[in-house]
Structure formats: C-alpha cells, structure tokens
C-alpha cells in the first residue's frame, strides 16, 4: 500500500527475526523498533500489523509517535474518497474502499479492501474493518473495535470500544 501511494519503503520490523524477501528488507524486530528509529532519516512510518494483534498495532503506533516519526495516512489510489472525508494519521485505506461525505477516521485504523463507509460515519482510533465491511450512514465504530469480513452495520448504530463483530454479521442494534 505504501508503494502504491508513492512512498519508498526503507524496510520493515517484525515480531521475530523474519527473513523478509526481495524488496522487503527487515531492519530488526519490533522490540528493537525504538532503537532503530532515526527521525532525521525516516520520513514516516506506518504500522502493518494485522487483525490478530490489535493491541500490538496500538502499542507500535505509540512507539512511532513517541519517537516523533510522522505517520502518513495511506489511501490507495483506487479508493473512492469524498473530499469531505478525513483520514487520521497512520490509518490505511485499501483499494476498492469507498468513503462517503463527512466520514471521519481516527488514527491507526485499518480499512481493508472493498470496505464501504457511507455518509457521516465515525471510525475510532485503532479500529479494524476487514474486507467487504459495509457501514451504512451515521454509524460510529469506537476505538479498537474489530469488524469481520463482510459484516454489515445498519444506519445510525454504534459499535463499542474493543467490540468484535463476526464475519458476515448483519448488525441491527448497537454493540456494546
């Protein structure tokens, strides 16, 4: 995603000593992240941890913030984003996503491929929307919530902080 957004990727960290691959140099482990950061040499960083470790995503985001590393929002060129939508620092919006008018996305959130977020929805910090999630208008997804693939949330509902919505669910009432 970073490359699709025009960034050059200097390297990655990983929770272990993952070997990486061509074009994916591993600079060290996640535990070494703070020591590896040289703000004067890094233009930005984005957390790439997936859905199995949302608390770890937030923790690594905090390491980057504490080190003063800018975290750009990454919005794939094939996403459709209303001019009035706001995407927070370190958040990622993948190809095929649609963000309607007045949408606000917090920091370090993930919107995987094919997510539709309609008008005036609010997505909290560190939230994770799996592929194909649909949020009808005026939905609020609070911080750290996880929505599984293909979940649909009806208009005006609230998904609480840290809540988990199963893949394929149709949400018809607020989820604490």
C-alpha dihedral (133, 137, 139, 143), degrees to nearest 10? 60
Q: What angle do CA 163, 55, 10 make, to 5 degrees?
A: 130
Count CB atoms within 10 A of the CB of residue 150.
16
Q: How far apart are the first and last CA of the chain?
A: 32
**Could you give the CA distance from residue 22 to residue 168 in angstroms, rounded to a whole number?**
36
- What residues are annotated to the active site? 119
Contact assessment for residue 95 and residue 81, using Cβ atoms and an 8 Å cutoff: no
SS3 19: coil
Reported as type and span, the H/E element at residue 66 is helix 54-66
Tell the residue number behind the tokens 């800018």, with chain if given: 70
- Is the Cα dihedral 92, 104, 113, 161 positive or negative? positive
């Amino acid at each position: 995603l970073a490359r699709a957004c025009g960034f050059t990727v200097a390297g990655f960290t990983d929770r272990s000593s993952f070997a990486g691959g061509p074009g994916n140099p591993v600079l060290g482990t996640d535990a070494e992240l703070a020591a590896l950061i040289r703000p004067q040499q890094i233009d930005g960083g984005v957390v790439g941890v997936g859905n199995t470790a949302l608390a770890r995503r937030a923790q690594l985001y905090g390491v980057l913030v504490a080190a003063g590393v800018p975290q750009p929002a990454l919005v794939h060129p094939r996403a459709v984003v209303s001019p009035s939508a706001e995407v927070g620092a370190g958040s990622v919006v993948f190809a095929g996503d649609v963000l309607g008018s007045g949408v606000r996305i917090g920091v370090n959130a993930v919107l995987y491929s094919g997510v539709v977020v309609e008008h005036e929805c609010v997505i909290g910090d560190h939230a994770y929307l799996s592929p194909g999630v649909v949020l009808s208008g005026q939905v609020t997804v609070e911080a750290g919530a996880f929505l599984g693939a293909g979940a649909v949330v009806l208009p005006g509902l609230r998904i609480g902080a840290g809540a988990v919505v199963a893949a394929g669910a149709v949400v018809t009432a607020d989820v604490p």
